[in-house]
């Protein structure tokens, strides 16, 4: 394996400026992403964290997933007063979901290792599973390559209510059928049998999709000391009780801060990633198994979006105190809760997350805390040997392969194989025929109107015949170069699937099937620079 840094030409404008130290963007964050760790450690020393209770909850939670010893050891280290964490998170996707989840976990682990060496204090990698999310349709599928396309494989279990994924029981029959069909799609390799057996074990031992996610991740990262935390766990809710109370009390200030910051960013030309309104409560209430997003009414009450529930502030504070498991966070309050629970050295996020974190600085300040340094996660595209050879065959550089329009490149390549172009010759012939046909049409109109109309139709028929010949010639060209066009489609499938980055579409399953999980361990053991936009990883 070797890796090369790659420059991405089509980046989110805000992220591009964030990476390039643009002062207009950096002022929306409390720390510089790459220059603030020592100051951040000093700032954390003045804050209190309930380390013992958090450690107990994490032990209970992770033992249920049969977490490796390295993980349990790191949870013990979290009790030390000088320990800190590097944290990132994602929804509980099937088989980890898209590759960016794996890339993010690698980023959290690498950055924690790097900072522990630099700061000489315990730095623990933590991954926050967004188990409280309820949109199962976002995570109920994976894509696998089929010829030169990606095919979608959906686990067809229906979610009839807005129940958190943490509480959603696995439908055994549907999950078994889904897994069986998935592996039937994979080519047989020396790794397939073992891969199937351990995925099967992960699924069989899991009650919920968060369990399945956690067991899968721990199998991949068994020796790294990664600590997983399910944000939807009732155990965690008990610790969060006092923080829910705080958020309820400060809700008007939090909501106004996010709303005004979003407006400021919009005036600078950056669309709001959160899309918040001034009366958003940024909390969910769990009612009869469903998550109901709350807002504040004009009279100060807390109401559901469809008026399903209604609370006074005193009543909601009572819920937070007595039944915190009935509350959960949204995209605004989850980062706040994360910061209140963990002594966070840095948050590792993707482009979308950094865009919405830009709207949160003032919200953190309403609770008298600073937003942690926000580190752009590592971004990888995995290149297999056959595709690496094809990139060279078509005289593409790695940077071109990820940045240019590969479909347009393929069209241009084929067009270059017929010179002069079939389309150009067709237009030229049509023009010649129309000119020569003009006298015939004039004479036809002079004879009689119906004959004139017939002559016009005759010209249309001649055009249609040329179009037919043109299509057949182009089809014949594609058949002649079928192998080469297939190769160009294969490059596109791996590097720009559906016009996107590989990490947004591909699951890790095909790569693990071809190479075993060792390539993930090898990449995790490397030290990648976080100021680089993207890497090609050659397997």
> What are the tens digits of pLDDT across the range 436-469?
999 999 999 999 999 999 999 999 999 999 999 9
79-95: pLDDT as tens digits:
999 999 999 999 999 99
Region 476-504: what's the mean pLDDT?
A: 95
Query: What pLDDT score was predicted for residue 36?
Result: 81
Do 184 and 153 touch, CB atoms closer than 8 A? no
- Whether 440 is covered by a domain: the verdict is yes
Coil, strand or helix at 37: helix
* Per-residue pLDDT band at 362 (split at 50, 70, 90): very high
Query: What pLDDT score was predicted for residue 138?
Result: 87
Query: What pLDDT score was predicted for residue 12?
Result: 87
What's the mean pLDDT when you consider all of the chain? 94
Region 17-40: what's the mean pLDDT?
A: 93
CA distance 370 to 424: 63
Do 507 and 479 touch, CB atoms closer than 8 A? no
Do 413 and 513 touch, CB atoms closer than 8 A? no
CA distance 401 to 378: 19
Answer yes or no: is pLDDT of 134 > 90: no
For the record, the structure tokens of 292 come out as: 């109901």
Region 498-511: what's the mean pLDDT?
A: 96
Q: Which residue has the higher pLDDT, 156 or 197?
A: 197
- Whether 504 is covered by a domain: the verdict is no
CA distance 64 to 381: 33
- Percentage of residues in the chain with pLDDT exceeding 70? 99
Answer yes or no: is pLDDT of 161 > 70: no
- Whether 67 is covered by a domain: the verdict is no
Query: What pLDDT score was predicted for residue 46?
Result: 86
Smallest Cα–Cα separation from 127: which of 113, 110, 108? 108
Torsion sign, CA atoms 111, 504, 536, 36: negative
Answer yes or no: is pLDDT of 135 > 80: no
Answer yes or no: is pLDDT of 420 > 90: no
Region 493-518: what's the mean pLDDT?
A: 96
- Whether 531 is covered by a domain: the verdict is no
- Whether 535 is covered by a domain: the verdict is no
Query: What pLDDT score was predicted for residue 131?
Result: 76
Phi, psi of 330, rounded to the nearest 5 degrees: -110, -165
Query: What pLDDT score was predicted for residue 132?
Result: 78
- Percentage of residues in the chain with pLDDT exceeding 90? 88
Coil, strand or helix at 295: strand
Task: List, in sequence order, the alpha helices (H) in 163-303.
Answer: 172-185, 192-204, 209-220, 234-249, 251-267
Query: What pLDDT score was predicted for residue 137?
Result: 84
Query: What pLDDT score was predicted for residue 290?
Result: 86
* Per-residue pLDDT band at 496 (split at 50, 70, 90): very high
- Whether 443 is covered by a domain: the verdict is yes
Query: What pLDDT score was predicted for residue 117?
Result: 97
Buried b / exposed e over 394-420, threshold 16 CB at 10 Å, is bebebbebbbeebeebbeeebeeebee
The CB density around residue 385, as the number of other CB atoms within 10 Å, is 10
Region 487-494: what's the mean pLDDT?
A: 97
User: How many domains would you assign to the chain?
Assistant: 1
Query: What pLDDT score was predicted for residue 419?
Result: 77
Query: What pLDDT score was predicted for residue 445?
Result: 95
- Whether 476 is covered by a domain: the verdict is yes
- C-alpha gyration radius of the chain: 29
Whole-angstrom CA distances from 13 to 8, 236, 274, 352, 355 are 12, 36, 17, 11, 10
272-328: pLDDT as tens digits:
989 989 999 999 999 887 889 999 998 999 999 888 999 999 999 999 999 999 999
Smallest Cα–Cα separation from 330: which of 284, 365, 288, 370? 284
Region 187-199: what's the mean pLDDT?
A: 97
Judged by phi (left if over 0) then psi (alpha if -120 to 50, else beta), residue 42 lies in: alpha
Judged by phi (left if over 0) then psi (alpha if -120 to 50, else beta), residue 96 lies in: left
Judged by phi (left if over 0) then psi (alpha if -120 to 50, else beta), residue 538 lies in: beta
Range of the domain at 467: 423-480
* Per-residue pLDDT band at 246 (split at 50, 70, 90): very high
Region 127-155: what's the mean pLDDT?
A: 89
Smallest Cα–Cα separation from 123: which of 423, 346, 348? 346
Answer yes or no: is pLDDT of 416 > 90: no
Answer yes or no: is pLDDT of 238 > 90: yes
Tell me how far the alpha carbon of residue 27 is from its chain's centroid: 26
Q: What is the 3-state secondary structure (H, E, C) of 391-444?
A: HHHCCCCHHHHHHCCHHHHHHHHHHCCCCCCHHHHHHHHHHHHHHHHHHHHHHH
For the record, the structure tokens of 290 come out as: 């469903």
Q: What is the 3-state secondary structure (H, E, C) of 353-406?
A: HHHHHCCCHHHHHHCCCCCCCEEECCCEEEECHHHHHHHHHCCCCHHHHHHCCH
Do 328 and 132 touch, CB atoms closer than 8 A? yes
The CB density around residue 383, as the number of other CB atoms within 10 Å, is 23
CA distance 102 to 270: 28
Answer yes or no: is pLDDT of 124 > 70: yes
- Whether 152 is covered by a domain: the verdict is no
Query: What pLDDT score was predicted for residue 512?
Result: 97
Answer yes or no: is pLDDT of 4 > 70: yes
The CB density around residue 271, as the number of other CB atoms within 10 Å, is 11
Answer yes or no: is pLDDT of 502 > 70: yes
- Beta-strand pair 84-90/123-129: parallel
| DSSP tally for the chain: helices H, then strands E | 24, 15
């Amino acid at each position: 394996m070797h890796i090369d840094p790659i420059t991405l030409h089509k980046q989110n404008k805000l992220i591009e400026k964030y990476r390039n130290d643009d002062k207009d963007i950096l002022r929306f964050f409390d720390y510089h992403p790459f220059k603030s760790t020592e100051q951040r450690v000093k700032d954390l020393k003045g804050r209190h964290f309930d380390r013992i209770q958090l450690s107990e909850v994490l032990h209970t939670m992770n033992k249920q997933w049969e977490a490796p010893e390295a993980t349990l050891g790191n949870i013990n280290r979290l009790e030390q007063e000088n320990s800190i964490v590097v944290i990132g998170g994602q929804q509980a996707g099937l088989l980890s979901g898209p590759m960016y989840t794996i890339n993010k976990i690698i980023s959290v682990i690498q950055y924690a290792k790097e900072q522990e060496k630099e700061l000489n204090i315990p730095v623990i990698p933590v991954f926050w599973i967004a188990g409280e999310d309820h949109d199962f349709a976002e995570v109920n599928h994976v894509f696998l390559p089929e010829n030169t396309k990606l095919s979608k494989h959906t686990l067809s279990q229906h979610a009839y209510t807005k129940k958190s994924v943490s509480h959603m029981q696995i439908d055994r029959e549907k999950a078994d059928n889904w897994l069986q069909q998935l592996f039937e799609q994979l080519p047989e390799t020396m790794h397939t049998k073992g891969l199937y057996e351990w995925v099967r074990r992960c699924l069989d031992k899991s009650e919920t999709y968060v369990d399945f996610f956690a067991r899968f991740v721990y199998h991949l990262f068994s020796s790294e000391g990664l600590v997983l935390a399910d944000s939807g766990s009732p155990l965690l809710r008990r610790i969060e009780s006092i923080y829910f109370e705080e958020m309820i009390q400060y809700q008007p200030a939090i909501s106004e801060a996010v709303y005004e910051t979003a407006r400021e960013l919009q005036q600078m030309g950056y669309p709001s990633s959160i899309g918040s309104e001034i009366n958003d409560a940024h909390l969910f209430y769990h009612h009869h198994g469903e998550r109901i997003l709350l807002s504040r009414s004009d009279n100060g009450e807390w109401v559901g979006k469809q008026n399903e529930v209604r609370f006074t502030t005193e009543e909601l504070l009572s819920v937070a105190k007595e039944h915190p498991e009935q509350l959960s966070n949204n995209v605004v309050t989850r980062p706040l809760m994360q910061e209140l629970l963990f002594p966070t050295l840095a948050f590792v996020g993707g482009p979308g997350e950094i865009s919405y974190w830009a709207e949160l600085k003032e919200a953190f300040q309403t609770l008298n805390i600073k937003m942690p340094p926000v580190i752009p996660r590592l971004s990888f595209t995995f290149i297999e040997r056959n595709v690496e050879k094809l990139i060279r065959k078509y005289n593409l550089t790695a940077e071109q392969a990820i940045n240019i329009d590969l479909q347009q490149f393929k069209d241009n390549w084929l067009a270059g194989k017929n010179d002069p172009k079939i389309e150009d010759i067709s237009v030229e012939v049509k023009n010649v025929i129309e000119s020569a046909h003009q006298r015939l049409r004039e004479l036809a109109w002079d004879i009689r109107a119906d004959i004139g109309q017939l002559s016009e139709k005759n010209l249309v028929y001649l055009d249609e015949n040329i179009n037919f010949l043109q299509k057949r010639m182009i089809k014949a060209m594609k058949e002649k170069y079928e192998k080469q066009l297939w190769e160009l489609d294969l490059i596109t499938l791996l590097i720009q699937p559906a016009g996107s980055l590989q990490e947004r579409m591909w699951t890790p399953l095909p790569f693990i099937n071809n190479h075993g999980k060792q390539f993930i361990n090898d990449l995790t053991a490397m030290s990648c620079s976080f100021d680089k936009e993207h890497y090609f990883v050659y397997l």
